[in-house]
A and B are shown apart, each in its own frame.
Chain A
Amino acid sequence: MTIRTSAAALALAVCFAAPAAAEFPERPINLIAPFNAGGGTDLLLRGFAPHFEEAIGSPVFVSNMSGGSGTVAASALSGQRPTGYQMAYMSITVSTIQPQIKNVPYDVDSWTPICSVAASPTLLFVNNDSPFQSMDDVVAAVEAEPGKYVFGSSGPGAMTHLTTVAAFSGLGILDKLKHLPFRGSGPAIKELTAGNIQFFGDTEVLMQRGDFRPLMVFNDERLENYPDVPTAAEVGIEAPLNELYLWGGLFAPAGVPEDVVAKLAEACETAVNSEGFQEFATSSGTVINHRGPEDFEAFFRSQYEDNRALIEAAGL
């Protein structure tokens, strides 16, 4: 039923699309999930929305606009008026990777970053029965038999792809491995279990779905749950490839008035720090990482630059 209500509210929002009035917000606010209902981003946003609603004091509804690895929603949003009533939860790939590898109608200057919500470091992992105990083993094996080993991804240009590229490009063995893209992480994980691929990279939550063993983590320090797993820098991978976070936050189209940004950002901070959302984050394995508008904008812009190295390495 919520989807119906959302659609009705969306229709209303479109009818009354007027310049931001003095008392923001006077209408419902739409948070767009650029992926299908039921996916990770959608769940996170639906867990976040009620707390955001409470903080902003106006109805907030989540709508889904999926397709094109998130670019369909981002393209649609970039053409909207910057009123602050429409925002999307965009990840590192939607906001910094896709616009640099595809011909989409948005780029680094199309947005008003509002706040970041989450950031999880990624890990490179193998099946538990794999002979590889460390990255040294991997490098030796790959050097010995170039073209034999295969790494998977959930799709070209996805976070899973970038993680493996960062790992193998950082160690200088990327061209000696084969890349096998899948449609989503599920099928890729199945092939890792079955042994058709040997390496995969994703966040801690996803890794725990299977009987897998991490070899390194793209974080600035070792993870609490895996004190014996080295960071990428320890393995010898140099910046900017040594840290990789699946981060995401709220973006509005460029040009949102400052007072509106301030209100949205304040509500976002309150929502992120709310007890309810913290509980949700614990149960869903979300690593909270809040940044205000200025911080987030600086971070977003530096990521946009840094990720160019990854894109080049991946040959995208």
Chain B
Amino acid sequence: MLSSLPDAFAILFTVEGIATLILGTTLGIVLGAMPGIGSTVAVAIVLPFTLSMSQAPAILLLLAVYAGSVYGGSISAILINTPGTPQSAATCLDGYPMAQRGEAGLALGWATQASIVGGLVSAVVLIIAAPQLAAFALQFGPIETFALILLGMTCIVSVSTGSVVKGLLSGMIGIFLSLVGGDPIIGEFRFTFDNWQLYSGFNLLAVVIGVFALSEVFMRASAKITSVSELVSFRGIVFPKLAEWRGRRRNLAKSVLIGNVIGVLPGTGAATAAFISYAEGRRSSPHREDYGKGEPDGIVSSEAANNAVTGGALVPTMALGIPGDAITAVMLATLTLHGITPGPKLVEDNPVLIGAIFAGFFIINLLLLPLGTLLSRVAAPLLRVREAYMMTAIVLLCALGIYFVRGNPFDLLVMGLAGVGGFILRRQGFPMAPLVIGMVLGPTLELTLRQGLILTDGNFFAFFESPIALVLTIVAIAALSLPLVRAALRRKPA
């Protein structure tokens, strides 16, 4: 791999190569920042253009849009409390409170630096250790994945601001919403009441946008308008000084690691990584008390992890020919169209091309810094409009984004209902992040549990014969009981 890098750079540093990287990353950031578009749709939008491009630029364009959109999602999460992509939902939790304090620029600065570190490290790991990591990914069968998702579910407790009971209820609502639609094992429809619009269940993105963005608009509309002040005071990115990173590097490193490992495992994804990393930060960060109130560490946890997933997801894709998610599946299809057969011999047969892709991926992550800064400067004046106009624009953007994803007006209805439901729940003090976790992780939890039970002939305890599953389950139990133990220890001396 390393020996082919000189030839790879020759492919990259052409006019076409550089233009592709810059345009693709810019487009990715913009599309990712648009509420409701999401990484998968962003990649699908540029897909037709790749058909007329040559091999390396075609894949690089998709990669640039992918990495750019994951970063771009954080911009709208911080500025308008609307996760542009589901994987930025955890970024809202601390990013938006910071923005409300008037530190929107700084919040974006933290997010940008964390995203870049996450992406760069994952690119290096991809270049150095893809085959080894791919072998590790193969160790994760349904049973191991179930245990990992179980661990992810414990995040509901850590992201429940206020009442844990309300957080758990909110998580249950999320899981229930995810049960609507086709049964993953026998294929029968559940909770659809013979309405074909419900066959595919509720659109995740529509629900996420509804409960975060639309409910926020309702909250503001219901509040008394006393001023026509700016929504957030934002003049462009402000980067935190290096000294401010002191005491936060461990959290950063841990988040990058979590993102990388989870990214490698097919079928888990960036949203899972961001939430698990956020929960871990909330457990171990020296600033854990401030999580949820606008703590930079919270942004770092989420953003470093979700960007580290991008490189991780390429590991099984490139080393085994197995797509980790819908986006890498699109990349594999594009490779096929360009006459390259993805599979275990992909790297062996096309070392220069793969070298160019990996090196290009590294450069894309570097490009996030100047392009992110530039784009946020351009966007800043747009945010300085009156709140009423801004809110209207948010509703319109969300509706457009949601409609584009599947071309189904029913999704707009789902978004609207989720907005009203989210508004009612939030006024009663229910946190919305657990609902998203439930909806993101619910289907995988159910599928892997039932797959595991098929494999073990219905014996749940056989799950723990897998060492990986056993360790992950113990970690999950520890994560849940740690706060109780801490509280008990604190009480004893008194």
Least CB distance, B198 to chain A, in whole angstroms: 9
Give every chain B residue within 8 A of A4 (Cβ-Cβ). 404
B390 interface contact, C-beta 8 A? no
The 9 closest A-B pairs by CB, nearest first: A67-B200, A68-B199, A156-B187, A37-B44, A38-B330, A75-B196, A194-B138, A68-B200, A186-B323
Q: Is the CB of B407 within 8 A of A65?
A: yes
Whether B404 and A7, one on each chain, are in contact in the complex, defined by CB atoms closer than 8 angstroms, is: yes
Q: How far is B451's CA from A5's CA once the two chains are assembled, in angstroms?
A: 42
The stretch of A202-210, A251-259, A296-304 that contacts the partner chain: A202-210
A179-194 vs B, Cβ < 8 Å mask (1 yes, 0 no): 1111110110111011
Contacts of A15 in B (CB 8 A): none
Ordered by A's residue number, 18 sampled pairs between the chains whose C-beta atoms are within 8 Å are: A1-B45, A7-B407, A37-B41, A46-B48, A67-B201, A69-B187, A72-B196, A72-B408, A102-B189, A105-B196, A156-B184, A181-B185, A186-B266, A189-B321, A194-B141, A209-B342, A209-B343, A284-B336
Q: Is residue B326 contacting chain A, with contact meaning CB distance below 8 A?
A: yes
Interface of A is mostly: mixed
Q: Within the assembled complex, what's the spacing in Å between the Cα atoms of A208 and B91?
A: 40
A230 neighbours in B (Cβ, 8 Å): none
Answer yes or no: A285 CB below 8 A from chain B CBs. Answer: yes
Q: Are A283 and B339 in contact (CB under 8 A)?
A: yes
Contact A190–B196 (Cβ < 8 Å): no
In the complex, chain B residues whose CB is within 8 Å of the CB of A103? 189, 194
A sample of 6 more A-B contacts (CB under 8 A), given A186-B322, A284-B337, is A2-B45, A38-B326, A39-B329, A46-B47, A178-B454, A209-B322
Bound Cα distance A52, B415 (Å)? 35
Distance, CA A45 to CA B403, complexed state (A): 20
With A38-B333, A40-B333, A316-B187 in contact, do A180 and B344 touch (Cβ < 8 Å)? Answer: no
Interface size on A, residues (CB 8 A): 61
What distance in Å separates the Cβ of B332 from its nearest Cβ neighbour in chain A?
7
Let me know if B142 is at the binding interface, CB within 8 A: yes
Distance A178 CA – B456 CA, assembled complex (angstroms): 11
Are A156 and B266 CB-contacts (below 8 A) given A68-B196, A210-B343?
Answer: no
Q: List residues of chain A with CB within 8 A of the CB of B266.
A: 186-187, 190
Instruction: Annotate A272-283 by CB proximity to B: 1 below 8 A, 0 otherwise.
Output: 000000001001
List residues of B (179-229) whose CB comes within 8 Å of A's CBs. Answer: 181-189, 194, 196-197, 199-201
In the assembled complex, B406 has its CB within 8 A of some CB on chain A: yes
Which residues of A are found within 8 Å of B137, using beta-carbon distances?
190
| Complexed CA–CA distance, A147 and B458 (Å) | 13
Enumerate chain B interface residues (CB-CB to A < 8 A): 40-41, 43-45, 47-48, 51, 137-139, 141-142, 181-189, 194, 196-197, 199-201, 266-267, 316, 320-324, 326-327, 329-330, 332-333, 336-339, 341-345, 403-404, 406-408, 443, 447, 451, 454-455, 457
Residues 13-35 of A, flagged 1 when their CB comes within 8 A of B and 0 if not, give 00000000000000000000000
Residue pair B329, A72 in contact (C-beta under 8 Å): no
Q: Is A39's CB under 8 angstroms from B333's CB? A: yes
Q: Given A1, A71, A182, which contacts B196 in the complex, CB threshold below 8 Å? A: A71
Task: Kindly state the separation between the CA atoms of A186 and B339 in the bound complex, as whole angstroms.
Answer: 19
* A193/B343 contact (C-beta < 8 A), A37-B47, A39-B329, A155-B184 known: no
State whether the Cβ of A3 lies closer than 8 Å to any Cβ in chain B. Answer: yes
Contacts A38-B326, A155-B184: A66 and B406 contacting too (C-beta < 8 A)? yes
A157 within 8 A of B: yes
- Given A36-B40, A103-B189, A196-B455, are A7 and B182 also a contact pair (CB < 8 Å)? no
Task: Determine whether A270 belongs to the interface, using a CB cutoff of 8 Å to chain B.
Answer: no
Residues in A with CB closer than 8 Å to B323 are 186
Tell whether, in the assembled complex, residue B48 and residue A2 are in contact, meaning their CB atoms are under 8 Å apart: yes
Once the chains bind, are A210 and B333 in contact (CB under 8 Å)? no
B343→A211 contact, CB < 8 A:
yes
- Does A246 reach chain B (CB closer than 8 Å)? no
Q: Which of B45, B47, B185, B196 neighbours the largest number of chain A CB atoms within 10 Å of its CB?
A: B196
Q: How far is the CA of A184 from the CA of B186 in the complex (A)?
A: 14
Query: Which residues of A does B touch, CB under 8 Å?
Result: 1-4, 7, 10, 36-40, 42-43, 46-47, 63-69, 71-72, 75-76, 101-105, 147, 150, 155-157, 178-184, 186-187, 189-191, 193-194, 196, 205, 208-211, 280, 283-285, 316
Chain A residues positioned under 8 Å from B189 (CB to CB):
102-103
Q: Is the CB of B407 within 8 A of A64?
A: yes
Q: Identify which of B184, B403, B457 contacts A7 (C-beta below 8 A).
A: B403
Does B43 contact A38, Cβ atoms closer than 8 Å?
Answer: yes
User: How close is B24's CB to chain A, nearest CB, in angstroms?
Assistant: 14
A118 to B141, CA, bound (A): 34
Least CB separation from B346: chain A residue: A209
Q: Is B199 a contact of A183 with CB atoms below 8 Å?
A: no
Question: A207's closest neighbor in chain B, by CB?
Answer: B343
Instruction: Check if B404 sits within 8 Å of A209, measured CB to CB.
Output: no
B344 touches A43 (CB 8 A): no
Assembly CA distance A98 to B341 (angstroms)? 31
Check if B196 sits within 8 Å of A208, measured CB to CB.
no
Min CB distance B424 to A, Å, is 27
B142 to A: closest C-beta gap in Å = 7
Interface contact B344-A211, CB-CB below 8 Å: yes
Bound CA span A16–B8, Å: 52
Is B408 touching A65 in the complex (CB atoms < 8 A)? yes
Q: Are A10 and B199 in contact (CB under 8 A)?
A: no
Known contacts A190-B137, A209-B341, A284-B337; A180 and B451 CB within 8 A of each other: yes
- In whole Å, how far is A263's beta carbon from the nearest beta carbon of chain B? 25
B337 touching A283 by the CB < 8 A rule?
yes
In whole angstroms, what is the CA distance A38 to B341 when docked? 17
Task: Kindly state the separation between the CA atoms of A153 and B173 in the bound complex, as whole angstroms.
Answer: 30
Nearest to A315 among chain B residues (CB) is B186
Chain B contacts of A196 at CB under 8 A?
141-142, 455
Q: Roughly how many angstroms separate A108 CA and B323 CA in the complex, as a whole number?
A: 35
Q: Which of B186, B326, B338, B443 contacts A283 (CB 8 A)?
A: B338
Q: A52: shortest Cβ distance to chain B, in Å?
A: 15
Bound-state Cα–Cα, A201 to B483, Å: 48
Q: How far is the CA of A143 from the CA of B253 in the complex (A)?
A: 52
In angstroms, Cα B453 to Cα A181, docked, is 12
